[in-house]
């Protein structure tokens, strides 16, 4: 009985250590979800992929805090709908598109993403257009 208890204890310790290592590896990505302002999936007319689910672009608008307390607003683009964390995807990070005083301002002024019929992406209340050369396929 003592050997079985040690084996079970070892298994639980191994699982706990694995969970902690996994959390440490993805901690930054998990914490980034607190900074998301808006998400929008748009149909990409000019995409090369054949499958319907791969003809969409996901636009994730998020903030990054600067040292002075203000926030940089960025867009992250995914090229396919993900059905599993192990799916392959291509993403691109933008240069900063705005600097805002706080997250409430970012949400209020920039929280709208609109997929335009001409393929452009409009972000925010002032109609910022995400440039086409941002969405590049190299």
pLDDT at 55: 66
* Residue 122, burial from CB neighbour count under 10 angstroms (0-12, 13-18, 19+): middle
* Residue 133, burial from CB neighbour count under 10 angstroms (0-12, 13-18, 19+): exposed
Helix H segments across 33-125?
A: 103-110
pLDDT: which is higher, 13 or 95:
13
Give me the mean pLDDT over the 41-70 stretch.
72
71-78 and 91-93 beta bridge pairing: antiparallel
Report the predicted TM-score, pTM, of the whole model to 2 decimal places: 0.64
Taking the domains of the chain in order of start, what are their residue ranges?
Answer: 34-135
Average pLDDT, the chain: 77
Instruction: Please count the other Cβ atoms lying within 10 Å of the Cβ belonging to residue 16.
Output: 10
Cα angle vertex 132, ends 127, 135, to 5°?
115
- Helix, strand, coil: what percent of the chain each, to 5? 35, 30, 35
83-113 pLDDT, tens digit each? 666 665 556 666 788 899 988 888 899 999 9
> Is residue 79 helix, strand or coil?
coil
Q: Please report how many Cα atoms fall inside a 13 Å half-sphere around the Cα of residue 100, on the Cβ side.
A: 20
**Assigned token pair, 92:** 């691109």
Give me the mean pLDDT over the 18-34 stretch.
74
Spatial separation of the C-alpha atoms in residues 9 and 33, rounded to whole Å: 34
């Amino acid at each position: 009985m003592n050997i079985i208890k040690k084996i079970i204890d070892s298994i639980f310790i191994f699982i706990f250590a694995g969970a902690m290592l996994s959390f440490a590896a993805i901690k930054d990505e998990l914490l980034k979800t607190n900074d998301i302002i808006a998400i929008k999936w748009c149909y990409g007319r000019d995409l090369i992929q054949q499958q319907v689910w791969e003809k969409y672009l996901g636009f994730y608008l998020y903030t990054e805090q600067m040292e002075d307390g203000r926030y940089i607003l960025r867009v992250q683009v995914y090229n396919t709908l993900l059905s599993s964390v192990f799916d392959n995807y291509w993403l691109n990070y933008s240069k900063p598109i705005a600097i805002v005083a706080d997250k409430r301002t970012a949400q209020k002024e920039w929280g709208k993403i609109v997929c335009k019929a001409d393929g452009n992406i409009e972000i925010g209340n002032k109609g910022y257009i995400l440039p086409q050369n941002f969405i590049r396929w190299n």
